[in-house]
Amino acid sequence: MGVSEKIKEIEEEMRRTQKNKATEYHLGLLKGKLARLRAQLLEPAPGAGSGGGTGFDVSKSGGTHLSPSSSSSDARIALVGFPSVGKSTLLSKITKTKSEVAAYSFTTLTAIPGVLEYGGAEIQILDLPGIIEGAAEGKGRGRQVISAAKTSDLIMMVLDATKKAEQRALLERELEAVGIRLNREPPNIYLKAKKAGGMKLSFMSTPKNLDEKMIYNILRDYKMLNCEVLIRDENATVDDFIDVIMAPHRRYIKCLYVYNKIDCISMQFLDQLAHEDHTVVMSCELDLGITDVVDRAWQELNLMRIYTKRRGVQPNFSEALIVRQGATVEDVCDQVHRSLKESFKYALVWGASARHVPQRVGLGHVVADEDVISIVTK
């Protein structure tokens, strides 16, 4: 029996099994088996050549319009969605890359990278083939698309506002099945494999949805006979626990839901969609809401652009240093040059993080998006 058939069999059994106290442990074990099989399915077949990576042959710098000097983009956004929702139309709007657009399904057959320039930051946008139900099990190019999505910093799930609401849940399920967790934090559970000593289990407080027997059962099923477990979150579930065991196969990625084709829906429905969490609405056809989509994507990435300035010279706003949220002047120095902070004397800051401009600060100063910094060395 192939892996796909085994998966189907377990899914069937889970559907047939009634959920109650008596079947709880059995269902937990089935979930664990399912997670293992799904991971197996995503592994490249033996001898299949280059596994891993994006699933398509695109490098992180792979934009057709990147200047040769810039080695790598600052972040990657994957456009994921059903066929003909307007993924390629969006790519062509926000980057200089043209990806074929047509009214028929599966117009795009491979990953098409483009570069979005955002205030000196370079973000790679990956236009992907449409995926269909069953993608996680290998239907269409689903598996490749999903591997590409797994390598991204943000997933933009492009949805057709005129289609049924189930579309979103269906896609979420496909991404879940391959270990992508959208807009969630890793479970607060500590697990460490040991060489000996048996299974040691402890809780911060009594969990509401898990018990010792369940945890021991699953650990045995995974042949993790020697390990240390600390459940820190009292709301942790069996699924969370399995995610922690399967951690190398899990990716926690932000997702922005982008509803396209709002030119075809009522104002009332539009208003409803626009108020959902992590959601933006647009019409590529009417050129409506596109800048909003880009601004929101930038916010979700949680990155900041810092411009450096030399004494007596205007800052160059077409080139930014990209740092994560919460970064300090020290992180900025590291972005410029690894040894810069050794000769650092102080920095002058103009922008939102400065109490007055320019403010004289040390390495520990926390910077804000679009700050201008002048670094003075010894």
Stretch binding Mg ion (CB under 5 A), from 108-116, 118-126, 288-296, 320-328: 108-116
Binders in 303-332 for ligand GTP, by CB under 6 A: none
Q: Which does 284 bind (CB under 5 to 8 A by kind): Mg ion, ligand GTP, K ion, none?
A: ligand GTP
Q: Which does 138 bind (CB under 5 to 8 A by kind): Mg ion, K ion, ligand GTP, none?
A: none
Give dist(CA 215, CA 205) in Å, integer. Answer: 15
Residue given tokens 């626009």 in the structure block: 274
Of 256, 239, 191, 255, which is closest to residue 38 (Cα–Cα)? 239
For the chain, helix (H) and strand (E) counts, in that order, are 10, 15
Stretch binding Mg ion (CB under 5 A), from 105-113, 277-285, 291-299, 366-374: 105-113
| Cβ nearer to K ion, comparing 139 with 200 | 139
**DSSP per position, 99-146:** ----SSS----S-EEEEEEETTEEEEEEE-----TTGGGT-TTHHHHH
107 binds K ion (CB under 5 A): yes
Q: Whole-number minimum distance, CB 324 to ligand GTP, in Å?
A: 31
Q: Which of residues 28, 62, 86, 120 is near ligand GTP by CB under 6 A?
A: 86
103 binds ligand GTP (CB under 6 A): yes
Rg of the Cα atoms in the chain: 24
Is there a contact between 140 and 102 (Cβ–Cβ < 8 Å)? no
Is there a contact between 363 and 341 (Cβ–Cβ < 8 Å)? yes
83 binds ligand GTP (CB under 6 A): yes
| Cβ nearer to Mg ion, comparing 130 with 179 | 130
Binders in 249-278 for ligand GTP, by CB under 6 A: 260-261, 263-264
- Which are the contacts of 169, defined by CB distance < 8 A and separation ≥ 6? none
Q: Which does 227 bind (CB under 5 to 8 A by kind): ligand GTP, Mg ion, K ion, none?
A: none
Q: Whole-number minimum distance, CB 48 to ligand GTP, in Å?
A: 25
92 token code pair:
């062509």
Q: Which of residues 54, 73, 88, 92 is near Mg ion by CB under 5 A?
A: 88
Is there a contact between 317 and 120 (Cβ–Cβ < 8 Å)? yes
- Closest residue to ligand GTP, judged by C-beta, is 130
Stretch binding Mg ion (CB under 5 A), from 11-19, 41-49, 107-115, 277-285: 107-115
Q: Whole-number minimum distance, CB 4 to ligand GTP, in Å?
A: 23
Give dist(CA 79, CA 146) in Å, integer. Answer: 11
291 binds ligand GTP (CB under 6 A): no
Kindly provide the residue ranges of all beta strands, DSSP E only, lying in 184-271, ordered along the sequence. 189-193, 199-203, 227-231, 251-260
Of 16, 317, 29, 276, which is closest to residue 168 (Cα–Cα)? 276
Q: Which of residues 73, 108, 147, 374 is near Mg ion by CB under 5 A?
A: 108
Q: Which amino acid is at 123?
A: I
Sites of contact with Mg ion (CB under 5 A): 87-88, 107-108
Sites of contact with ligand GTP (CB under 6 A): 81, 83-89, 101-103, 105-108, 129-130, 260-261, 263-264, 283-285
Sites of contact with K ion (CB under 5 A): 84, 102, 107
